[in-house]
Amino acid sequence: MVISDLQLKQCLKEFATPLYIYDANLIKKRYQQLYKWIPYKKLQIYYAMKANYNLHILRLLEKEGSCIDAVSPGDIYLALKAGFSKIRILFTANKISDEEMHEVAKLDVLFNIGSLSRLEKFGKAYPGREVCIRFNPDVIAGEHEFIRTGGEASKFGIFLEKVDLVLEIAEKYKLKIVGIHEHTGSGIPEIVQMQKGMRNILGIITIERFPYLRFVDFGGGFKVPYHLDEKKVDYSKFGEEVTELFTGFCKLFGRDLEMYFEPGKLLVAESGKLLVTATTLKENPGKKIVGVNSGFSQLIRPMFYQAYHHLRNLSNPNGKLKIYDIVGNICESGDCFAVDRELPEIREGDILAIKTAGAYCYSMGSVYNMRPMPSEVMIVDGKIRLIRRGLSNEELAKKIVNEC
């Protein structure tokens, strides 16, 4: 465990639950590990900021040298505020409106376009510009069906067979294709699936087709373990193999290209925890139900993707093991963090830690049922820092009144 129980207890003295806690050193470590695992000399990491957009996490990764995978104009404004210059941001434009296209074009950030119709509109409005093209890797992989982005059913990316149509549009508007992109899915369990997507994309790239090409971006999808006994994917083996693959490809292509990856989960998931308090014990026939002071509005992955998040009872770690459903405080029956989970006896007032909550947890949160999002703290070199203050209930109500 990276954040010690002592540090968690210290946080609880200073802050109330629910509370998000992140470990800055682990985020840095994962970022640096990627460069060790993938020894390709022209590697660049683009952090997928949708995973966790806390300003302090963005700043930390900015200092490390990361670039940004942004998916909305809002992402771009925030990344700029965090200190990323526009040339360190790639905008993956998914189903954008014309207004959004013009807004981002003014900011002069590179577009990653994944549909022929948007490419046509972009070319017409901004002839001669540089652009990156997102292709569908034609591989179906990822830890849940909602987060698989390849294959025929996917709304993402241009089909590989349509490469000639891409070239026609680019030619018509003198667009310079400087990047090719693919993203297969999130939490890909096997490195061979990631590598298959990479090979498929490389299969359509030649210097005759893409004379201006500077980089190939292979998206995110690195899997992190959510179960305690889960086998870690061997990313150093992956890194060596893809370095060999890409180096060989560049020889054929005729020039050394940059290789990008866009991890979200890998960089931040394991760094985070959500601490909650058991508020209500309930005994149904054949079931022990523990209600806590948080819910799917603050951490939706278990409900949305049936995702497993490990839970610990920090207040009674040596208690007698019992089987519980751990449910949230939102007025919906599906609001559940864990079903039939064995945990040391839980008493009202006990603090539970929900593990691996650094990616797509706070960032997918909302104030549904009018509960403010929790505060976020970060442990930086052993020190506890408040990195975002949650609103009080009253402040949230006032904010909404002010917005109306």
Active site residues: 331
Q: Which residues bind to ligand LLP, rule: CB under 6 A?
A: 48, 51, 69, 92, 147, 183, 186-187, 219-222, 262-266, 301, 305, 360
User: Which is nearer to ligand LLP, 118 or 265 (by Cβ)?
Assistant: 265
Coil/strand/helix, residue 150: coil
Residue labelled with tokens 């560049």: 250
User: Which is nearer to ligand LLP, 92 or 277 (by Cβ)?
Assistant: 92
User: Which is nearer to ligand LLP, 210 or 260 (by Cβ)?
Assistant: 260
User: Torsion-angle region of residue 74: left (phi > 0), alpha (psi -120 to 50) or beta?
Assistant: alpha
Coil/strand/helix, residue 165: helix
User: Which is nearer to ligand LLP, 7 or 356 (by Cβ)?
Assistant: 356
d(CA 92, CA 65): 20
d(CA 367, CA 298): 8
CB of 297 to ligand LLP, least distance (A): 15
User: Which is nearer to ligand LLP, 187 or 291 (by Cβ)?
Assistant: 187
Angle (nearest 5°) at CA 93 between 188 and 27 = 45
Give helix 55-64 / helix 73-81 axis angle, nearest 10°.
70
| Nearest Cα residue to 274 out of 56, 29, 52 | 52
User: Which is nearer to ligand LLP, 268 or 346 (by Cβ)?
Assistant: 268
Quickly list H helices, 203-259: 235-253
CB of 321 to ligand LLP, least distance (A): 29
Are the C-beta atoms of residues 321 and 45 closer than 8 Å to each other?
A: no
Q: Is the dihedral of CA 55, 56, 57, 62 positive or negative?
A: positive
CB of 147 to ligand LLP, least distance (A): 4
d(CA 270, CA 27): 8
Can you spell out the DSSP letters for 248-295? Answer: HHHHHHTS--EEEE--SHHHHGGGEEEEEEEEEEEEETTEEEEEES--
